[in-house]
């Protein structure tokens, strides 16, 4: 199966590399000459001709910025007739994609930056009428990125804010922990490793250990202990509200962009 990845940016590169590692025949379409050289140096097959890439492919994965979706689909519209089109462009709805590429079989997906290490949570929605075998192809492709889950498209703005933006939120927490480690005299490399592994371990306790966040907190919080002292300080600032407000603000921004791009 030949997969055309249209757009060779950070996400496009990660998608192409993961699909190649999964055994797919991948061709990347990228306009920028300097970026083409970088991708070729990674061992990827690259072309500047999006139409040619789409024509050769069985499935097309759109990895361009939302503002470039319309011009890109106008360019390759004839080449994707009857083919699966998986769009990773944030805030571009299935209806908008169908309007621009009426002959394609449209899927909208939202990964995050962790696709680069095959640890993305990728939510997807599909147009009605997709055949079971086509749905299976979509799921298998997206599994190359990490965890996959089908959702109602109405939740996509929430997923964008919660999952798509999550690496930035988590990086902010990790950075604060690293600075605390530096202040305590730890080497930067050690503080970074401790913070990152703490996040990985906590995530695995939730997903694999089937513990809720509150259960994990209670498990490490003993009367008069070190952890409660740290939590006591954290409770002096509205940290929960800050994160909840951040996700809410990001979700509202995603909705505004979605409406603007769909002409609403």
pLDDT score, position 263: 76
pTM confidence score: 0.93
Q: What is the mean pLDDT of residues 151-157?
A: 98
Please check whether residue 89 is in contact with residue 106, taking contact to mean a CB–CB distance below 8 angstroms: no
For 110-129, the pLDDT digits (tens) are: 999 999 999 999 999 999 99
**Residue 248, phi then psi, degrees to nearest 5:** -65, -45
pLDDT score, position 9: 97
Question: Domains, the chain, ranges and CATH?
Answer: 2-155 (3.40.50.720), 166-255 (1.10.3730.10)
For 13-68, the pLDDT digits (tens) are: 999 999 999 999 999 999 999 999 999 999 999 999 999 999 999 999 999 999 99
For 168-208, the pLDDT digits (tens) are: 999 999 999 999 999 999 999 999 999 999 999 999 999 99
For 74-101, the pLDDT digits (tens) are: 999 999 999 999 999 999 999 999 999 9
Sheet strand arrangement including 146-150: 45-47, 25-29, 2-6, 59-62, 84-87, 105-110, 120-126, 146-150
| CA atoms of 88 and 102, how far apart (whole Å) | 18
Helix, strand, coil % in the chain, rounded to nearest 5: 60, 15, 25
**Residue 29, phi then psi, degrees to nearest 5:** -105, 120
User: CA quadruple 86, 90, 95, 101: dihedral positive or negative?
Assistant: negative
Q: At what angle do helices 213-220 and 188-207 cross, to 10 degrees?
A: 120
Q: Tell me the residue length of the chain.
A: 264
For 223-255, the pLDDT digits (tens) are: 999 999 999 999 999 999 999 999 999 999 999
> Which residues sit opposite 107 in a β-bridge?
86, 126
């Amino acid at each position: 199966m030949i997969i055309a990845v249209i757009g060779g940016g950070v996400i496009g590169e990660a998608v192409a590399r993961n699909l190649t590692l999964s055994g797919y025949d991948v061709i990347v379409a990228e306009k920028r000459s300097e970026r083409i050289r970088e991708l070729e140096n990674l061992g990827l097959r690259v072309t500047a001709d999006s139409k040619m890439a789409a024509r050769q492919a069985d499935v097309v994965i759109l990895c361009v910025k939302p503002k470039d979706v319309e011009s890109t689909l106008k360019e390759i519209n004839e080449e994707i007739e009857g083919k699966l089109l998986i769009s990773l462009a944030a805030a571009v709805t299935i209806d908008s994609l169908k309007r621009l590429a009426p002959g394609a079989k449209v899927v909208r997906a939202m990964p995050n930056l962790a696709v680069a290490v095959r640890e993305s949570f990728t939510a997807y929605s599909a147009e009605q009428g997709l055949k079971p075998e086509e749905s299976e192809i979509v799921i298998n492709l997206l599994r190359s990125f990490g965890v996959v889950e089908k959702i109602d498209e109405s939740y996509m703005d929430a997923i964008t804010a919660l999952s798509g933006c999550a690496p930035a939120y988590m990086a902010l927490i990790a950075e604060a922990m690293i600075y605390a480690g530096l202040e305590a005299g730890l080497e930067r490399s050690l503080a970074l490793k401790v913070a990152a592994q703490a996040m990985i371990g906590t995530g695995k306790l939730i997903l694999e250990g089937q513990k809720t966040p509150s259960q994990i907190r209670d498990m490490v919080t003993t009367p008069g202990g070190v952890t409660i002292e740290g939590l006591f300080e954290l409770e002096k600032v509205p940290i929960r509200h800050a994160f909840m407000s951040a996700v809410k603000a990001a979700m509202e921004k995603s909705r505004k962009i979605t409406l603007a791009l769909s002409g609403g």
